[in-house]
Amino acid sequence: MKKLIIAGVVLSLCGCAMTDTKETAPDVNQVPEKVYLSGMSNELATDALLVSLINKNYMAKKVASNRIGVQLGGHQFVLQPSLNPQGVDRILASRYYAVHPKLANSQELMVLIGSLNHKLNFAKFTLRDNGKVIQVQGAATFVGTLELEELRRFLIWTDDALKQVAKSLPNSAEELIKPMPVMP
C-alpha cells in the first residue's frame, strides 16, 4: 500500500512539473498579431494598421490620410485599407515604377501593360501620370480582422511574382523601368 501511495505522489508531482504555464499566463509585452478593423473608417483603419506595423518593427510611415508606406526587404509598398461594412474588407498593396522618358506613354509600354494584365492575375498593372509611372496593385482580403502574418506573406508573394515578371522582361527593361520609393 505504501508503494501505491508513493507512486501516486510521484505521478502527481511529475504531472505538475510537466504542465506548461506559458499557455495560461499571457505575455503582457507581446505585440498583437491581429489588427481589429471592424466598423472603422478607412482612415481609422489606416492609423490602426500603422501602429500595429510599427509595433511589429516594420519600417512604416503614413504617406496619405488612408495610405501607409511600408518597407519589406528591399522594396516598398503602399498599403491602403478598403473596408466594406456589408462584406469583404481589403488591403490594397501597390508598388510604383518610374518609366524612362523615352519609353513613357509609348505604344510598346501600353502593349506590355496590356499583355501583363491579360496573362497574369496576381495584380493589376496600370499606367499613371501620362505613362510616366506604372502602378502594380494587388488586394489581400479579410473580414474585420487582419492577421499581420497573412499580410506579410501576401506582400512576399506579390514581391516574388514581380521578380518573376522582371525576369521575363528584356534585360534593357531594368534601365527603363525602376522602382520608385514611396517613403524616405
pLDDT, tens digit (0-9, with 9 covering 90-100), for 74-114: 899 999 999 998 878 999 999 999 999 999 989 999 999 99
Give the rounded percent of residues in the chain with a pLDDT score beyond 70. Answer: 83
Give the per-residue pLDDT at 175.
85
Neighbours of 135 (CB within 10 A): 17
Which residues have C-beta within 8 Å of that of residue 60, sequence separation ≥ 6? 50, 53, 54, 68, 69, 70, 71
Q: Count of alpha carbons within 13 Å of 168, Cβ hemisphere only?
A: 11
Statement: residue 10 has pLDDT above 60 = no
Tally of residues, the chain: 184
In this prediction, residue 73 carries a pLDDT of 87
C-alpha Rg value of the chain to the nearest Å? 24
**Structural contact between residues 136 and 124, judged by C-beta atoms closer than 8 angstroms:** yes
Which residues does residue 162 pair with via DSSP β-bridges, in sequence order?
Answer: none
Whether residue 127 contacts residue 116, with contact meaning beta carbons closer than 8 Å, is answered with: no
User: Rounded to the nearest 10 degrees, how much is the dihedral formed by the CA atoms of 36, 40, 45, 47?
Assistant: -110
pLDDT given for residue 15 in this prediction: 46
Averaged pLDDT for residues 150-177: 91
Type of residue numbered 17: A
The DSSP symbol for 23 reads T
Q: Residue 49 in 3-state DSSP? A: helix
Q: How many beta carbons lie within 10 A of that of residue 118, not counting itself? A: 8
